[in-house]
Amino acid sequence: MKYLLLILSISLFQGTWINFEPPNMGVRVYVPAEMDSKAIEIETDLGIVNLYSYSHQQVEDPGNIFMLNLNLYEEGTFHPDSTSLNSEFLETTLEELLTNLKGELDYAEPFKIQKHLALKYRMKYNQNGTIAKGKMVLKNDILYIVQVFTSSEKSLNEDMELYLNSFKMLEE
């Protein structure tokens, strides 16, 4: 029923949104248009990480940027039973994002997406002129980050909520 209501709200109020599933990544999200993509491989303290980034910047409102980042760590990097370490990893990742953006955290709240450990957050940066709102979830050795960037005056908009709430993990 929730799925049907989400589809109806997309078609009635948001124009034409599309279902986006990055190949072989086990996730789905609704987006306002095709996503641009980039992929790089980096070496970190945790080993080699393959980074996949998908984004869309709205033409009619260039301040709205929809992003989906997938960080694929080496197999066995995160133990599924190590809840406290995995939770600490999500918090550290959020702190790094805040530091990189020179931002200020409005809130961060742990929750679960399906059965997977997750963190939702809202921050402001750019002298409080820009808002970033997102969710990150750790599933096996993949960190999924779905987020939206927009101007402060447009931070309460339906597109942001629709995008963030449409994020789903596809179970094996």
What CATH number does residue 147 fall under?
3.40.1000.10
**Higher pLDDT among residues 110 and 128, named by residue:** 110
- pLDDT of res. 88: 92
Instruction: Return mean pLDDT, the chain.
Output: 86
Number of domains in the chain: 1
pLDDT of 56:
94
| Rounded Cα gap, residues 39 and 22, in angstroms | 12
Per-residue model confidence as pLDDT tens digits over 138-152: 998 999 999 999 988
Is residue 23 over pLDDT 80? yes
C-alpha 63: how far from chain center: 17
Query: How far is residue 57's CA from residue 65's CA, in Å, rounded to a whole number?
Result: 4
Q: For residue 68, what are its two tokens?
A: 């989906």
Per-residue pLDDT tens digits for 44-94: 888 899 999 999 987 776 678 999 999 999 998 888 777 888 899 999 999
pLDDT greater than 70 at residue 35: yes
Q: How far apart are CA 43 and CA 57, in angstroms?
A: 28
Domain assignment of residue 95, given as a range = 2-169
